[in-house]
Structure 1
Amino acid sequence: MIQQGTTTFRNISLALFAGGFITFALLYSLQPLMPEISTAFAITPAQSSLTLSVTTVAMALTMLFVGTLSDLVGRRYIMTAALVISSLIAILSAFSSGFTELLLLRILQGVALAGLPATAMTYLAEEIDTSSLGYAMGLYISGNSIGGMAGRFISGVITDWFSWRTAIGFIGVLGLCAALIFWLVIPPSRNYVKSAVSFSRIMPLLWSQCRNPRLLCLYGLGFLLMGGFVTLFNYIGFELTGEPYSLSQSVVGSLFVVYIMGTLSSTWMGRMADRYGRSHVLILTLVIILAGALCTLHADLWVKIVGLALFAFGFFGGHSIASSWVGLVAKQHVSQANALYLFFYYVGSSVSGTGGGVLYSVQDWQGIVGMIVVYVILAVILCRILAHLDERPSEATLK
């Protein structure tokens, strides 16, 4: 197994950082552009959020099957193909003639994007020593956070200079460059064993993972973490481009620089979890998330920005812990266990992201924060259940 400090570890980290970077840049590049899309197609904020929700739903469903496909053909090929195809679809999306066509292309892009996140976690669990897994997963998650930040920032700036269509196309070209780097750097799997599992057995295998109460708690945490995160950042653009702030798309896009906090927290929290225990550190991240959400209620713009930074710090730390935990808990068919985590993770994004639009139209920003508070409370309960299950002697070594 590969340990931290080796050349192979660095190559894996670089490749998955680049892959995670462009995956989330492509996925979230439209998020700060929702006010522009709403205006361009004369639709409501909740309808404009479908440009993200349909993509994440498509990702979630596809991830249930991509893990098994990677068992059959190999991790490296699936991840590379996902990056190339999703980047090409982004370029096509720049030329969409209507909102329906844009949604259809985003659905196809979600199917393609599923290949990397559904496979990367399994690849790391197979190749990296358990003593270094938390740190390796943190580096991968940091690529996700920087990619999400860069995609939003770049799309916001280019939209102000040119148009939202140009922004989407530019990020697609950037994705092709990242796919080339990924293919050249990622080492072939050393511990991958081709599986004979047929697609007809996928649903029974997935159901067998749902019988593990610890995995069910982790799946619920994925739903709640991502649901609150996407909802907050889906509608902060509407809040800040409107009165009394009236910020431009470039300024709103630049606010996503707070994602850099995710780069710091994902690796740092991963190390803390390896040292002090996952359940304790996970609760700490939830407290930070709650503090960040409450800060956004303040009228002062700078307090809101601090709140966004705290929220991002807590979210990416919590996600890195929960996602790496799945591979340690699942005793068999790790690909399917990771696929289920990501399924609930992105379903949380889709359901909460669009449902939050309804709350926003009725209760304004207070409705968004209220929903997040409820999610945090539920997440803490799940953490306490996990901690109780970890006290069982037979499972304590997995902590």
Structure 2
Amino acid sequence: MIEAGSMAFWRGTIALVIGSFMVFANVYVTQPLLPMIAQQFSISELEAASSFTITTFTLGVSLLFYGPLSDALGRKRIMVVTLLGVTVTTMMLSLVEHYSWLLILRGLQGFFLAGLPAIAVAYMGDEYTPHALAVAVGLYISGNTLGGIGGRLIGGFIGEWRDPSSAFAVMAMISLLCFALFAYLLPTSKQFKAKPFRIGSILSNVTLHLSNPVLVLCYLIGGFNFFIFINQYSYITFLLEEAPYNLSAKYVSLLFLTYLSGTVGSAFSGKLAAIMPQPRIMMIGTALLMAGTCITLHSSLVGIILGLFVNCFGFFLCHSTASSYVSKNAKQAKASASSLYLVFYYLGASFGGFYLDPFWQYGGWVWVVIGSLAILTFVLGLTAYLMTVKRGYIDGVSMRRG
């Protein structure tokens, strides 16, 4: 087993951080490019946003598939193959001339992008000691955040300097370097033991988790919050490129540095969990997301940025708590329970744009805020209901066992 601080530990952990950066940079590289994509291909805001949401959709759907597949074929092999697929599709994206091909390639890219997030923690669980695993997972998650910020900065700065195709070309070169480092650094699995690939086990685990009301509520809370949160960022790019702000893509991409407050929110969630029930923390996080959304109605750029900082803190406070609560309350097959949470999470990202677009078309950002608050009020109710369901579910299970 790999011990914390050993050469193998640092090789493996650095490889997974690099892979995580590469994955999430590719997921989010298009978000600051949306106004340019709409203009380049003469399409609507919703159609342009689909270049982002098609990726999160195929990524989310694919997550449940890779875990069991890696149980049969091995962890490192699948991660290497899927990261190679990401690199190739990004190169191809830099060459497209028609929007339909851009959508097809972004959808295919989402399928490949799911490989590492679905398997990375399982690889560490196989190869690392428990102490090393705890340290490595924290570093790995930091790669998620850095990738999300880095991809948006690359898209915004390169896209404005040249065009979206150039942004994809630069992202492809960075991806190729990340892929080579990942394949070279990641230690070969030594503790892995193959298991048969059974579709039936996937379906039975999904059925089991969906019969647990505590988990279902967590899935809905995480999914609907991301449904609003990530798509607000898509529409804020269209707002800020217009008068009176007239921000260019590179300055819009800097707004995604507000994600750093989300890192603080994620870390703070663990400390709060020691002093209050986790459903209450989810309620606080959702309430902060609602407050931040209202603050963005301020006409000044400073007010909008402040609102986004509050949004990120609240969202990630709730998201990290909900994710932890899923693992804590899954009776068995905890890995698939967490994967199912991420399926809801990314499907929320995929469909939120279709919900918010009519509000944007009708009345701009003010109505996007109104539409957001309607869903977030519903989520706030779910967090309150979760505390009641948790107690009732435990009592019911205890009575059946008795």
Write the letter of the residue equivalent to 2:239. E
Seq. identity, %: 33
In 1, Cα distance between equivalents of 2:232 and 2:383: 22
In the alignment, does 2:148 pair up with 1:148?
yes
Q: 1:60 to 1:365 in 2, by over 3 A?
A: same
Q: 1:361 to 1:137 in 2, by over 3 A?
A: farther
Could you tell me which residue of structure 1 aligns to residue 311 of structure 2?
A: 311
Q: Per-residue CA shift, 1:88-121, capped at 9, x if unaligned? A: 2111101012000111101110110111222235
In 2, Cα distance between equivalents of 1:122 and 1:316: 23
Q: By how many angstroms is 1:170 displaced?
A: 0.8
In the alignment, does 2:265 pair up with 1:265?
yes
- Range with bigger deviation, 172-181 or 90-99: 172-181
In 2, Cα distance between equivalents of 1:393 and 1:324: 22
Could you tell me which residue of structure 2 aligns to residue 249 of structure 1?
A: 249
In the alignment, does 2:102 pair up with 1:102?
yes
In 1, Cα distance between equivalents of 2:323 and 2:49: 25
TM-score by length of 1: 0.88
Q: Is the 8 A contact 2:28 2:148 kept in 1?
A: yes
TM-score by length of 2: 0.88
Q: By how many angstroms is 1:33 displaced?
A: 0.7
Q: By how many angstroms is 1:153 displaced?
A: 1.1
Could you tell me which residue of structure 2 aligns to residue 332 of structure 1?
A: 332
In 2, Cα distance between equivalents of 1:370 and 1:293: 9
In 1, Cα distance between equivalents of 2:316 and 2:363: 27
Write the letter of the residue equivalent to 1:181. L
Write the letter of the residue equivalent to 2:312. A
In 2, Cα distance between equivalents of 1:123 and 1:327: 17
Q: By how many angstroms is 1:301 displaced?
A: 0.5
Could you tell me which residue of structure 1 aligns to residue 168 of structure 2?
A: 168
Could you tell me which residue of structure 1 aligns to residue 366 of structure 2?
A: 366
In 1, Cα distance between equivalents of 2:292 and 2:190: 41
In 2, Cα distance between equivalents of 1:136 and 1:266: 16
Write the letter of the residue equivalent to 2:262. G
Unaligned runs of 5+ in 2: none
Q: By how many angstroms is 1:299 displaced?
A: 0.4
Q: Is the 8 A contact 2:54 2:106 kept in 1?
A: yes
- Range with bigger deviation, 314-323 or 351-360: 314-323
Write the letter of the residue equivalent to 1:49. A
Structure 2 residue matching 1:49: 3-state secondary structure? helix
Q: By how many angstroms is 1:65 displaced?
A: 1.3
Could you tell me which residue of structure 2 aligns to residue 344 of structure 1?
A: 344
Write the letter of the residue equivalent to 2:242. G
Q: By how many angstroms is 1:390 displaced?
A: 4.3
Write the letter of the residue equivalent to 1:55. T
In 1, Cα distance between equivalents of 2:15 and 2:395: 38
Write the letter of the residue equivalent to 1:156. G
Q: 1:151 to 1:360 in 2, by over 3 A?
A: same
Q: By how many angstroms is 1:356 displaced?
A: 1.5
Q: Per-residue CA shift, 1:280-304, capped at 9, x if unaligned? A: 3333322222221111111011010
- Range with bigger deviation, 22-31 or 337-346: 337-346
Q: By how many angstroms is 1:86 displaced?
A: 0.8
Could you tell me which residue of structure 1 aligns to residue 288 of structure 2?
A: 288
Could you tell me which residue of structure 1 aligns to residue 90 of structure 2?
A: 90
Q: Per-residue CA shift, 1:343-391, capped at 9, x if unaligned? A: 1111101111232222211131122222322333233333333333444
Unaligned runs of 5+ in 1: none
> Which has the larger Rg?
2
Write the letter of the residue equivalent to 2:171. I
Q: Is the 8 A contact 1:295 1:306 kept in 2?
A: yes
In 1, Cα distance between equivalents of 2:371 and 2:119: 31
Q: By how many angstroms is 1:122 displaced?
A: 4.2
Q: 1:141 to 1:224 in 2, by over 3 A?
A: farther
Q: Per-residue CA shift, 1:313-344, capped at 9, x if unaligned? A: 22233222222333332233333322321211
Q: Is the 8 A contact 1:15 1:186 kept in 2?
A: yes
Q: By how many angstroms is 1:278 displaced?
A: 2.8
> Which residues of 2 match residues 1-399 of structure 1 at below 5 A?
13-123=13-123, 139-186=139-186, 192-273=192-273, 276-391=276-391, 392=394
Q: 1:275 to 1:113 in 2, by over 3 A?
A: farther
Q: 1:309 to 1:336 in 2, by over 3 A?
A: same
Q: Per-residue CA shift, 1:210-255, capped at 9, x if unaligned? A: 1111211121122112111221111111000011111111111122
Q: Is the 8 A contact 1:34 1:48 kept in 2?
A: yes
Q: By how many angstroms is 1:43 displaced?
A: 0.5
Q: Per-residue CA shift, 1:150-179, capped at 9, x if unaligned? A: 111111111121111111111122122223
Count residues with an aligned counterpart.
396
- Range with bigger deviation, 224-233 or 297-306: 224-233
Q: 1:381 to 1:136 in 2, by over 3 A?
A: farther
In 1, Cα distance between equivalents of 2:328 and 2:3: 16
Q: Is the 8 A contact 1:137 1:324 kept in 2?
A: no
Q: 1:11 to 1:388 in 2, by over 3 A?
A: farther
